[in-house]
A and B are shown apart, each in its own frame.
Chain A
Amino acid sequence: METIPVTNIDPGLSHKAIAGLVRHDRVHTSLYTSPALFELEMERIFSRTWVWVAHESEVPEPGSFKSSFVGTQPVIVVRDRKRNINVLLNRCRHRAATVCEHRRGKTNNFVCPYHGWGYGLDGSLRGVPHPESYGDALDKAELGMVRLRTESYGGMIFATFQEDIAPLSDFLGPAKKWIDLFMKQGAGYPIQATQAHRFRFPGNWKIQLENTTDGYHFPIVHKSFLSSVDKQTEEMLNFVDGGGYVEDLGNGHSVMVMIPDLVDLEENLEADIPERFLSLAQALRDEGHEEMQVRRIVRAVGGSGFNLNLFPNVACSMAFFRVLQPISVRETEIHHVAIEMKGGPAIANRARLRLHEHFQGPMGFGTPDDAEAWERVQRGAGSGDDLWIMLNRGLPGERPGADGPRSDVSAETGMRAAYQQWKNYMTEGGQGV
């Protein structure tokens, strides 16, 4: 095995040296620990690919905005008067101050608090106080807020600094049909992204990226959660020996199907309603919903039976959006964004919120145990001299799937997909798509 030290990596990492850190079945521990690699990731991955910034429901009206990040760079996602969505670098073109420190809201414009430069909702520089001192030296057309290229699919808004990148649609590829399936959890109502559980853990962002496509850990790490649900739900979530699978969807994306019966939420609606939803179903009937719509809504409340992991920063994960934001090589912020059915029955949306609270967030019965495991990965990764992260689970059983290599539900196929994409970007062989 080639010897590559965990520490003291040459800051002038060559493409060849970086390529040597990612094998088909393992990655080098320095991917979690090297500040030099982290800096390169921000430049070569987060500044060059499509990065998720918001869901369209978060900026519903002209003037609605949301603060977000592309890598470590703050951006504002805002809908303008023509209803176009703009993603603007949150930085005044004068002396760099951020022009917005609100998480979300509604505004007519953005005004820098330092010297009062004012920008339209499309980022154009509208006016500056006391312009006479500039004479002819102020070219307003040149000094709009930096706009990122922005495209959406299925309501999911992505932005990129890379103007000449291939369209989002190409980047998502086969992931698009999984996004379509995921959005069925609106049960016919529009999807509404609502509040999020936000928390940080002391570990590298890729540890979290891996976890979304890691079925292997579920019965181990989430034993206490499984003990807190009814028997039927526990059996459903004991999926490691089941018929699910993980499939590489290309471009670093992957899907992990934990519960095959819940891939398409609108199929087989005649199946028995799970016990945990019987009282909700009856309450919906009592509100006058038709039987098939009751079943559709109840399905939606439970969420999809898969996690769609989109490289590099978002996942459509059962019933919520998982967003990761790298802070530093050893710190990551996670948002678990709850999803509601906009205009749907309040009792059903409440049920979704309670399910989200049960597992997710810093006080949930699931997330804190995940975070503990991730933190331990980072601590452990600080030891040893030339050790590797093993990603070979499920390799022997891997076969061609519909869109890429597929293996069993606890295979590390999705992680292998993500790290190959990482390698493409980091060695600058994967620009564009």
Chain B
Amino acid sequence: MSAQRINEVVSFLNLEADMLDQGEFDSWLTLWHPDGRYIVPIEPHCDDFENILNFAFDDDAMRRKRVQRLYSGESISTTPRARTIRMLARHRILADTPSRLEVRCAQSLWEYRKGKAQHYVADLHYQLLPQPEGFLIERKVVRLLNSDGYLSSIGYIL
């Protein structure tokens, strides 16, 4: 694994993280392969996401609706939208083939809204499809540390 390859991956994931913190959701949509899945599971040890309840299991259409909802001003839990700042670290490339790259990293995210700050920590597990320039996201799984505990409303994209 070359340092350049790791840099490419980390740069791409940092770009995604920054788009989400800055509220550039339309740009975020362009990072995805049309068949990609955005998944926020509940069960920590289950990989069969399709046949189990998740917090989010978004295909392209649901991702677009989620973004639309954030922009619409129709939802009182996202207007005003929570401010978020997230840091990614501890990247580990799990597989790297010409057709697919798998990477896991840690995410530490702070949310602030209406005088209240909350902290969410998660493992992010990506499947990325290498492109002539950069990558497209084929799958992003956000495994929250406390996913099987109780959460509060999350009015943004993890």
A positions within 8 Å CB-CB of B: 103, 194-201, 221, 223-224, 227-228, 333, 338, 346, 349-350, 353-354, 356-358, 361-365, 367-369, 371-373
Interface segment, one of B3-11, B45-53, B102-110: B45-53
- Tell me how far the C-beta of B123 lies from the nearest C-beta in chain A, rounded to whole angstroms: 17
Q: Known contacts A227-B68, A350-B50; can you find 7 more A-B pairs with CB under 8 A? A: A197-B42, A199-B150, A200-B150, A201-B152, A350-B51, A365-B65, A371-B153
Among A195, A201, A362, A364, contact of B52 (Cβ-Cβ < 8 Å): A195
- Tell me how far the C-beta of A55 lies from the nearest C-beta in chain B, rounded to whole angstroms: 15
When the two chains form their complex, are residues B52 and A199 in contact, meaning their CB atoms are under 8 A apart?
no
**Residues of chain B contacted by A350 (CB below 8 angstroms):** 50-51
**CB contact list, B105-158 vs A, under 8 A:** 148-155, 158
Bound state CA distance, A357 and B51, in angstroms? 12
Among A333, A346, A358, contact of B62 (Cβ-Cβ < 8 Å): A358
Given A199-B150, A201-B152, A338-B53 contact (CB < 8 Å): yes
Among A227, A353, A368, contact of B74 (Cβ-Cβ < 8 Å): A227
- Tell me how far the C-beta of A23 lies from the nearest C-beta in chain B, rounded to whole angstroms: 29
**Residues of chain A contacted by B150 (CB below 8 angstroms):** 198-200, 333
When the two chains form their complex, are residues A362 and B152 in contact, meaning their CB atoms are under 8 A apart?
yes
**Nearest chain A residue, comparing its CB with the CB of B72:** A224
- Tell me how far the C-beta of A330 lies from the nearest C-beta in chain B, rounded to whole angstroms: 13
When the two chains form their complex, are residues A357 and B152 in contact, meaning their CB atoms are under 8 A apart?
no
When the two chains form their complex, are residues B148 and A368 in contact, meaning their CB atoms are under 8 A apart?
no
When the two chains form their complex, are residues A349 and B51 in contact, meaning their CB atoms are under 8 A apart?
yes
- Residues 28-69 of B, flagged 1 when their CB comes within 8 A of A and 0 if not, give 000000000000101100000011111111000010011011
**Residues of chain B contacted by A195 (CB below 8 angstroms):** 42-43, 52-53
- Tell me how far the C-beta of A380 lies from the nearest C-beta in chain B, rounded to whole angstroms: 13
**Nearest chain B residue, comparing its CB with the CB of A334:** B150
Bound state CA distance, A365 and B72, in angstroms? 12
- Tell me how far the C-beta of A100 lies from the nearest C-beta in chain B, rounded to whole angstroms: 16
Q: Does B22 contact A (CB under 8 A)?
A: no
Bound state CA distance, A361 and B53, in angstroms? 10
- Tell me how far the C-beta of B95 lies from the nearest C-beta in chain A, rounded to whole angstroms: 27
Bound state CA distance, A60 and B18, in angstroms? 46
Bound state CA distance, A231 and B155, in angstroms? 24
Task: Identify the 3 closest CB pairs spanning chains A and B, nearest first.
Answer: A368-B153, A224-B75, A368-B77
Q: Does B78 contact A (CB under 8 A)?
A: yes
- Residues 58-93 of B, flagged 1 when their CB comes within 8 A of A and 0 if not, give 000010011011001011111000000000000000
Bound state CA distance, A356 and B43, in angstroms? 16
- Tell me how far the C-beta of A209 lies from the nearest C-beta in chain B, rounded to whole angstroms: 18
Q: What are 5 A-B interface contacts by the 8 Å CB criterion? A: A195-B52, A198-B149, A201-B153, A227-B74, A368-B155
When the two chains form their complex, are residues B69 and A224 in contact, meaning their CB atoms are under 8 A apart?
yes
Among A197, A363, A367, A369, contact of B76 (Cβ-Cβ < 8 Å): A369
When the two chains form their complex, are residues A353 and B76 in contact, meaning their CB atoms are under 8 A apart?
no
Bound state CA distance, A338 and B40, in angstroms? 16
When the two chains form their complex, are residues A197 and B51 in contact, meaning their CB atoms are under 8 A apart?
no
When the two chains form their complex, are residues B69 and A103 in contact, meaning their CB atoms are under 8 A apart?
no
Given A227-B69, A227-B72, A200-B54 contact (CB < 8 Å): no
- Tell me how far the C-beta of B38 lies from the nearest C-beta in chain A, rounded to whole angstroms: 10
Bound state CA distance, A353 and B55, in angstroms? 10
Given A195-B43, A369-B76, A361-B155 contact (CB < 8 Å): no
**Residues of chain A contacted by B50 (CB below 8 angstroms):** 350
**Nearest chain A residue, comparing its CB with the CB of B53:** A195
**Nearest chain A residue, comparing its CB with the CB of B70:** A224
**Residues of chain A contacted by B149 (CB below 8 angstroms):** 198
Given A195-B42, A200-B150, A368-B153, A362-B76 contact (CB < 8 Å): no
Bound state CA distance, A394 and B69, in angstroms? 32
**Nearest chain B residue, comparing its CB with the CB of A371:** B153
Bound state CA distance, A369 and B54, in angstroms? 19
**Residues of chain B contacted by A361 (CB below 8 angstroms):** 55
When the two chains form their complex, are residues B53 and A369 in contact, meaning their CB atoms are under 8 A apart?
no
When the two chains form their complex, are residues A194 and B74 in contact, meaning their CB atoms are under 8 A apart?
no
- Tell me how far the C-beta of B36 lies from the nearest C-beta in chain A, rounded to whole angstroms: 16
Among B43, B52, B62, B76, contact of A221 (Cβ-Cβ < 8 Å): B76
Given A200-B152, A365-B65, A224-B53 contact (CB < 8 Å): no
Bound state CA distance, A223 and B76, in angstroms? 9
- Tell me how far the C-beta of A229 lies from the nearest C-beta in chain B, rounded to whole angstroms: 9
**Residues of chain B contacted by A333 (CB below 8 angstroms):** 150
When the two chains form their complex, are residues A223 and B75 in contact, meaning their CB atoms are under 8 A apart?
yes
When the two chains form their complex, are residues A224 and B74 in contact, meaning their CB atoms are under 8 A apart?
yes
When the two chains form their complex, are residues B154 and A223 in contact, meaning their CB atoms are under 8 A apart?
no
**Nearest chain B residue, comparing its CB with the CB of A327:** B150
Bound state CA distance, A369 and B76, in angstroms? 6
